[in-house]
Amino acid sequence: MAKFLVKNSVPLKGEVTISGSKNAVLPIMAAALLTDETCSIMDVPKLKDVDVMCNILSRVGANVQEDYKNNQVFIQTNKIMEYEAPYALVKRMRASVLLMGPLLARAGRARMPLPGGCAIGARPIDLHLKGFSALGAKIVENKGYGYVEAIAEDGLKGCNLYLDFPSVGATENIIMAAVLAKGTTVIENVAEEPEIVDLANFLNKMGAKIKGAGTDTIKIEGVEKLFGARHNVIPDRIETGTFMVAAAITRGNLLIKNALPDHVKPVIAKLKECGVEIEDTFDGLWVRGDLRPLIATDIKTLPYPGFPTDMQSIFMAFLATAEGKSNVIETVFENRFMHVAELERMGAKIETEDRKATITGPAPLSGAKVLATDLRAGAAVVLAGLVAEGVTEVSEVYHIERGYEDFIEKFRSIGARIERVEEKINDL
């Protein structure tokens, strides 16, 4: 097992280029199953999660060519050979559930091991199944064997559906099931994330007829067949936010290239409230945390376009160093404060009550042995380590490597003192 050693680092300075979005590329790769023609996907980030998705697609019958050097993946599926993703792969990546929609649409059947919960919550898939059922699929839950199946051997039929919660994954899965359904589907109260828009753009290039992506209502006219397409994945807005906060917490000065400011509006607004200078220029997003004392603010996570839950832990690490008292409320996941204990071990002053955390800063942070409890919490403790006295040892870094391309290299290129070492047994 690897770990990161993070040392107190000078204010970060220089420029960093954002990679393709993990949460956009995963559903787009799954959507490639919907055609027997080749889909060429560009700006694909080199991530463990992408590897797992390539592996799963191959197992269900796709011919997958990864051209990692050029950040490209080519997917061509003559025939679906399996309608179930192997458990060993599903348990490694919750996004495997995104195969259900395409498998159901293309093969009339999809079976998924019930996805286990994870550190941040139970992560049920009831809304996904509600959507498939509304489209005419029969849902069979076999809790004994731990799997759920959606069956629609006569094909799917368009429907009108209201999502109880604007779930990102459920929205994506239902769109992918509905594009080949007979008739029209209208889904209300859908997720509005940029990743939904990117998926819809890709599907429309394949010949789908989707309107309204990015709003709270999506309308889909089912079509007979979809065709191969080429697509460049949007930049990763959470990686963008991570480097913006890295400039703030280290009181640094970064130029973030290939970022889409429109996708990180809440993060820009909140960092400005704290006194960070942000300028959108032709070359990229300038973020300066070195111009004035940085102060506390309040955060409440919400579905897009609200403040992203994926930025909550990362922003909290920064708030531990800002002057004053900050309140953070997590409304999206029921258990997304696992990073609090890790930040407290480093000296952060944080009180939590249910889904609310109160952070009192600035607290002098000291290096400690900490865990990456999830992908974003891992990034949070690394950022804290950049400004902590001494060395911070971050374990379980596979979480981080799942979702950030060239994480170590990018941070070292802007002055971070961070290295990846193998964890010796007696360290455990």
Q: Is 221 exposed, middle or buried (0-12, 13-18, 19+ CB in 10 A)?
A: middle
Closest CA to 299 of 337, 262, 347, 261: 337
Least Å from the CB of residue 379 to ligand EPZ: 9
Of positions 52, 112, 125, 178, contacts ligand EPZ by CB under 6 A: 125
121 is a contact residue toward ligand EPZ (CB under 6 A) = yes
Kindly tell me which residue out of 310, 342, 393, 396 binds ligand EPZ, with binding defined by CB under 6 A.
310
Which lies closer to ligand EPZ via its Cβ, residue 198 or residue 310? 310
CB of residue 187 to ligand EPZ, shortest distance in Å = 13
The CA distance from 260 to 389, in Å, is: 34
Residue 175 C-beta: closest distance to ligand EPZ, Å: 13
Instruction: For residue 284, state whether it binds ligand EPZ (rule: CB under 6 A).
Output: no
Residue 376 sits in the site that holds ligand EPZ (CB under 6 A): yes
Token couple for 217: 């209502």
Pick between residue 194 and residue 367 the one whose CB is nearest to ligand EPZ.
Answer: 194
Which residue in the set 83, 202, 243, 333 belongs to the binding site for ligand EPZ (CB under 6 A)? 333
Q: Measure Cα distances from 36 to 75, 183, 206, 299 in Å.
A: 9, 22, 11, 45
Q: How many CB atoms lie within 10 A of CB 290?
A: 16
Among 67, 126, 283, 419, binds ligand EPZ (CB under 6 A): 126
Size of the site for ligand EPZ (CB under 6 A): 26
Q: Which amino acid is at 283?
A: D
Using the rule CB under 6 A, which residue among 185, 367, 403, 404 binds ligand EPZ? Answer: 403
- Expressed in angstroms, the distance from the first to the final Cα of the chain is 10
Q: What is the rounded distance in angstroms from the CA atom of residue 124 to the CA atom of residue 27?
A: 18
> Which one among 64, 168, 180, 208 touches ligand EPZ, defined by CB under 6 A?
168
Contact set for ligand EPZ, span 33-62 (CB under 6 A): none
Tokens linked to 6 = 């993070």
Residue 132 and residue 109 in contact, taking contact as beta carbons nearer than 8 Å: no
3-state secondary structure (DSSP) of residue 278: strand
- Based on CB atoms, which residue is closest to ligand EPZ, 130 or 345? 130
Region of 327 (left: φ > 0; alpha: ψ -120 to 50; beta: rest) is beta
Catalytic hit among 39, 54, 118, 159 = 118
**Coil vs helix vs strand at 99:** helix
Tell me, yes or no, if 54 is annotated catalytic.
Answer: no
Catalytic positions are: 118
Binding site for ligand EPZ (CB under 6 A): 22-23, 26, 94-95, 121-128, 165, 167-170, 191, 309-310, 332-333, 375-376, 403
